[in-house]
Structure 1
Amino acid sequence: MSVLYKQVGIKDVTFGEQVVVVEPVNLYGCSIGDGSFIGPFVEIQKGVTIGKGCRIQSHSFICELVSIGDSCFIAHGVMFVNDLFASGGPAGGDATKWKSTRLGNHVSVGSHATLLPVSICDHVVIGAGAVVTRDITQPGIYAGNPARLLRSLPESTVDSATSL
């Protein structure tokens, strides 16, 4: 029996100042901004950008074509998806079939949420276990499957978070 064993760990990563990484992790070909934290058992794939002051908790998976803004929180077990199985099955590594995901600044994503390829504006909270299937263009709190707006955030909350 032959086994192909690949060890990744941390390879070809651009780190900002004062980044904390708790191993074991798989980080490769990505960029992590100043003052960010990466917890254990996290995988961040090539081409991903993580902004400044972000916190990525354990067991989260951030696939290629994801961009996360500044001051974001990704809770435990969050999954990002870039393959929508558009042809009835997995893309089989064909990156031309993948789609991108963009999170703005001050976005918090609750534990075990799943984000399909979407764009999320600044100042959004995604509830635990939510499945985000559509772009989010209005600041607020979203939850459910599919995720829906529960309530808007007060302007004072958005304004004070912007000035941090």
Structure 2
Amino acid sequence: MIKEHYSGIKDVELGKGVKVVHPVNLYGCSLGDDSFVGPFVEIQKGVKIGNRTKIQSHSFICELVTIGEDCFVGHGVMFINDLFSTGAPAQGDKSLWKSTQIGNRVSIGSNATILPVIVCDNVVIGAGAVVTKNISEPGIYYGNPAKKRK
């Protein structure tokens, strides 16, 4: 027997003026005023998206992520909360997951991967970057691993 699940919008706290392009899978999250979510995006429970933040298509935002106001998340950006700290996936053991906090006015380029980190305000993360460490100083970061370049 197949157990089917359907994508959609379920138990989402929506601010005023939110725009969502279907298909999406949004559940148990919070979207701030005038935010935008493009097609083929998944935003999991407990995620908080700030006012005027734009999430472009094919991005994945897992549990334990907070994104500030006036941010841009490019196409295909992946957020990670499981670092395989035991040498394997956490298998749903949330005690092994780690959180990510993205400040205000942060732009994340397409296909970037964001591991559990804290990113301060006023940061640009280049396309394809892999953010493995906290970013505590405004600037432009790119590469694998992402480093401050400007």
Q: Does structure 1 residue 123 correspond to structure 2 residue 122?
A: yes
CA RMSD of aligned residues (A): 0.4
Distance in 2 of aligned mates of 1:39 and 1:8: 14
Aligned to 1:133: 132
Relative to the length of structure 2, the TM-score reads 0.99
Matched, 1:54 2:61: no
- Which whole-Å CA distance do the structure 2 matches of 1:85 and 1:106 have between them? 30
The aligned residue for residue 86 of structure 2 is 87
How far 1:50 sits from its partner (Å)?
Answer: 0.1
Amino acid at match of 1:127: G
Q: Which has the higher helix share?
A: 1
Q: Could you tell me which runs of 5 or more consecutive residues in structure 2 were left unpaired when the two chains were aligned.
A: none
Deviations 1:5-34 (A, max 9, x none): 111310000000000000000000000000
**How far did residue 97 of structure 1 move?**
0.4
Shift of 1:66: 0.1
Question: Identity over aligned residues, as a percent?
Answer: 65
Q: Choose 1 or 2 for highest CA Rg.
A: 1
In 2, the alpha carbon distance for the partners of 1:3 and 1:85 equals 29
Counterpart-to-counterpart distance in 1, 2:68 and 2:24: 21
Provide the residue aligned with 2:32 in structure 1. Answer: 33
- Runs of 5+ consecutive residues of structure 1 not aligned to the other structure: 152-164
Q: TM-score of the superposition, structure 1-length normalised?
A: 0.91
The one-letter code sitting in structure 2 at the alignment partner of 1:135 is N
Moved over 6 A (4+): none
**d(CA) in 1 for partners of 2:60, 2:7:** 15
Once the two structures are TM-superposed, the CA of residue 4 in structure 1 deviates from its matched residue by 1.4
Look up the match of 1:102. Answer: 101
